[in-house]
A and B are shown apart, each in its own frame.
Chain A
Amino acid sequence: MSGVNKIIDGRDMQPPEPMERALEALDTLADGDELVLLLYCQPQPLFNVLRKNGYAWQETVQDDGTHEIRIRKA
C-alpha cells in the first residue's frame, strides 16, 4: 500500500524555498507515493494548492513545534 516516501525538511529554509521544493516534488509524485514536509508553521498557501488539485494530507504537530505534513494523491 505504501509507495516511495520523499522527505523535504523545510525547517532551515527561508520562504518560499519549502513551497518551491514541495511544488516540484508534487509534479513527480506518483500514485501511492507520499511526500513528507517538515515545517515550523502551517503552510496555508500550499494547503490551498493541495485542496484545489486533489491531494490529501495529514498534519501532526510534534513536541518541538515541527509540523509534519504527509501528502499523497487522493
Chain B
Amino acid sequence: MHPNLSFEQAPPISVPYRFFVTAPWFGVAAGLVLAWLGSDALVSRWTPGALAVTHLLVTGFMLQAMCGALLQFVPVAAGGNVWRPATLAMVVHPLLAVAALLLATAFLTAKGFFFMAAAHIFAVAIGSYVVVVGFALRRTPAQGPTLMALRLAVVGLAVTATLGITLATSLGSGRSLPLIEITQVHAAWGLGGWALMLVIGVSYFVVPMFQLTPPYPARFAWALPPAMILVLTLWSWQLGGTVAAWQKAVLFVGILLAAAYAAVTLILQSRRRRKVTDPTLFFFRGAMASLLLIAASNLWFAFDADAGADPRATVWIGLLAIPGVFVSVISGMLYKIMPFLNWLHLQRLCGLGLPPPNMRNMISEQAMFGQMRLHFAALAALLLAVPLPLLTRPAGLLFAASCAWLGYNLAGGVRAYRRFRDQILASGASQGS
C-alpha cells in the first residue's frame, strides 16, 4: 500500500493516548467518592464531597481528555505545529493527574497544604500547556470558525486556571477574598469559556465530517464564540464583590447561547446525508439533550423561586452539565478519535506490508454500545439522587462502573493498535528477508 508515499511525523500516538487512557479512571474515582460519602454528598454544591467529585471530573476526567485531544486536533484539523508535543505531554500529563488528586484531597480534608500544592502544580502544568498550544494556534495559517473557537477555548482555560489557582491559594493560606463571586466566575469560564468552547470548535469540524451532516450555518458558527466571550466578560463584572441584578439576565443569555448550539447540532444531525448510527451519535445527542435540559431547568428555577433557591438546584445543573454534557460528549468523541488515530498511524506503516485494518475493528461496537447504556443509566440515577439522596450511593457506583468500562474499552483500543502494528511490522520483516 502506497509504497511511494512518505508520511510526515505527526505527534507520536502516545501523546494523546496517555491522556485518553488516564481520564476515565478519574471518573471511577469520582463515582467511588460519591458512593463512599453517600446521601450527604449531593445536598449542595458546597459540600466537601460535591467539590471533590466536581474537581475529580473537571480537572481529572475532562481536563485530561480535552488536553490530549487538543494536542492531536491542533495539527490534524487546524494545521498547527505544537512545539515538542511528546515532551509537553510527558510533563503536563503526570502533573495534571497529581494536581487533580491533590485538589480532591484538599476539598475532602480541608488541609491548606494540599490546596497550595495543587495550585502550584496546576500553575506549572496548565501554564506550560497554554503557552505551547496557544503559540501553535496563533501561528497556524489555517482560518475559520473552528480555529477561532479553539483559540478562545485556550484563553478560557487560562482564565479558568488563573481564577482556580487564586481560589486554591486563598483557601490554602486563609487570605480573604470574595470566594463565592470568584467561584461563580471560575465555574462559568471553566464550563463555558473552556470546555463548551472547545466542544463547539471541535463540533464545527467533526460533526459534519464524521456524522455526514450539512455544515453549521456560517453566520451562527462565527458569531457564537465571541458572543459567549462577551457574556462571560459581563458575568465577570461581579469579581469586584457584588452581583448586579442585570447579571442574572447575562447568565440566562449565556445559557440560551449554549441551548442554541445544542438545537442547531440536533437539527444538523437529523439532516445527515447517510443514516450512520454509532455510539458517538447517541453520546452527542445525549449531551445536547442535557444542554437543552439545563436551559429548561434554568427557566423553571427563574419562575419557581422556591425551587431556584433550593441548594440542590445548582447540583442538578452541575450533574446535567458535567456527567450529562461533557462526560457524554467526550466519551462519544474518544470512541471516534481513537479508532481514527489508530488507522492514521497504522496507515503510515503500511508501505512495509499489510494494508491497514478497518477502523471498525479497533474497539468492539457492542462494548461501546453497552458502556453507553450504562453511562446513561448512571446519569439518570445521579439526577434522581438529587431529589432522592438515598440513591447517591448506587448512582456513584453505577457511574464508577460505566467509567471503568470506558477505561477498559479505550485500553482495548490501545491494545488493538499494538497488535496491528506488530502484525504489520512482522509482515514487513518477513517480506524483506
Contact = CB atoms under 8 A, between A and B. Distances in A.
Interface string A60-72: 0000010000000
Contact of A48 (B10, B214, B273): B10
Contact of B343 (A16, A44, A48, A49): A16
Given A27-B2, A52-B6, A65-B215, A15 B340 contact: yes
Contact of B8 (A14, A15, A16, A51): A51
How would you classify the secondary structure of chain A's contact residues: helix, strand, loop or mixed? helix
A24 B350 CA distance: 12
B10 A14 contact: no
A14 B115 CA distance: 46
A12 B210 contact: no
Nearest to B214: A65
Interface in A1-23: 11-12, 14-16, 19, 23
B244 interface: no
A45 B209 CA distance: 14
A41 interface: yes
Contacts, number: 65
B76 interface: yes
B344 A14 contact: no
A6 to B, nearest CB: 16
B421 to A, nearest CB: 17
Contact of A26 (B5, B273, B340): B5
Contacts of A58: none
Contacts of A11: 273
A41 B208 CA distance: 8
Chain A CB count within 10 A is highest, among B8, B205, B208, B274, for B8
A14 B7 contact: no
A65 B213 CA distance: 12
Contacts of A24: 2
A9 B142 CA distance: 23
Contacts of B10: 45, 48
| CB-based closest 3 A-B pairs | A48-B8, A65-B215, A44-B79
Given A12-B274, A16-B347, A26-B5, 11 more contacts: A12-B273, A14-B210, A14-B276, A42-B79, A44-B77, A44-B78, A48-B7, A49-B5, A51-B8, A52-B8, A65-B215
